[in-house]
Amino acid sequence: MSKSIFHGHGYFMNDDRASGGKMAEDDIIACAHTGAAMKKADWKLHGGMCMVCARPISAAAFKRAKVFGCEGPEEKRIEQAVNAHYHAQQNAKVLGI
Ligand SMILES: [Zn+2]
């Protein structure tokens, strides 16, 4: 996958013509909430936009956002998980376990 000059997330190309299929190309964008890769054309038809973090989100994340609200950018969730793991290790060290 090469990097798109338009969006910076990537470019999808599947050339299946040699086996009787067809060639498929599209820009790739990433879901802000889950990090899932989405084809831009599919996102235009089925995806959504988070109004809190103002980023494109997948259809599944869009359904969750209607119920739970913005679940934050993926980078924030990874940072929270790393911090939680660090604090658990520090607590175990203090407690001697
Ligand atoms: Zn959001």
Distance in angstroms (rounded) separating the CA atoms of residues 15 and 91: 52
CA–centroid distance, residue 16 to ligand 1 (Å) = 36
Residues 6 or more apart in contact with residue 85 via CB below 8 angstroms: none
Write down the pTM of the prediction.
0.66
pLDDT of residue 64: 93
Model confidence pLDDT, tens digit, residues 39-75: 999 999 999 999 888 889 999 999 999 999 898 787 7
Please identify every residue whose CB atom is under 5 Å from ligand 1, which is an ion: 50, 52-53, 70
Mean pLDDT, residues 73-78 = 81
pLDDT of residue 35: 85
CA–centroid distance, residue 89 to ligand 1 (Å) = 30
Domain ranges of the chain: 11-71
For residue 79, the surrounding DSSP H or E stretch is helix 74-95
Model confidence pLDDT, tens digit, residues 21-44: 999 999 999 898 888 899 999 999
Distance in angstroms (rounded) separating the CA atoms of residues 11 and 52: 26
CA–centroid distance, residue 41 to ligand 1 (Å) = 21
pLDDT of residue 92: 94
CA–centroid distance, residue 69 to ligand 1 (Å) = 7
CA–centroid distance, residue 71 to ligand 1 (Å) = 6
